[in-house]
């Protein structure tokens, strides 16, 4: 009986893939698995990206206002900022505390 499952994105059949493609896929899978194990065990360096503050701040504000649960998953993560921005933020925090008192 033919397989009548719906395929929106047909994948290549195993016959159409070359042995080189299969080996490459296995290496990629093994490499991905090893990277994940290294990450979980703490052996590898954590991944990081550089993102403009103007991109991340609105997203964090919206997530905080909406009480998104995933935001608390990252509560203990650190964020690297320029020393100038750090000084401005600390001064602002000090002003906020002074005004609240």
**Per-residue pLDDT band at 40 (split at 50, 70, 90):** confident
Question: What per-residue confidence (pLDDT) applies to 31?
Answer: 79
71-99 mean pLDDT = 92
Least confident of 10-19, 54-63, 83-92: 10-19
Angle (nearest 5°) at CA 44 between 72 and 83: 60
How do residues 44-58 score in pLDDT, each as one tens digit?
776 788 899 999 999
**Per-residue pLDDT band at 12 (split at 50, 70, 90):** low
- For every residue of 29-66, DSSP letters joined together read HHHHHHHHHHHHHT-SPPP-----HHHHHHHHHHHHHT
Question: What per-residue confidence (pLDDT) applies to 35?
Answer: 78
């Amino acid at each position: 009986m033919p397989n009548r499952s719906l395929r929106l994105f047909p994948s290549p059949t195993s016959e159409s893939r070359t042995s080189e493609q299969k080996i490459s896929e296995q290496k990629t899978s093994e490499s991905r698995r090893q990277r994940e194990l290294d990450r979980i065990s703490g052996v590898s360096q954590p991944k990081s990206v550089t993102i403009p503050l103007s991109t991340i701040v609105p997203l964090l504000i919206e997530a905080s206002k909406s009480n998104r649960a995933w935001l608390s998953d990252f509560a203990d993560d650190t964020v690297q900022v320029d020393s100038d921005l750090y000084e401005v933020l600390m001064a602002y925090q000090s002003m906020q505390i002074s005004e609240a008192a």
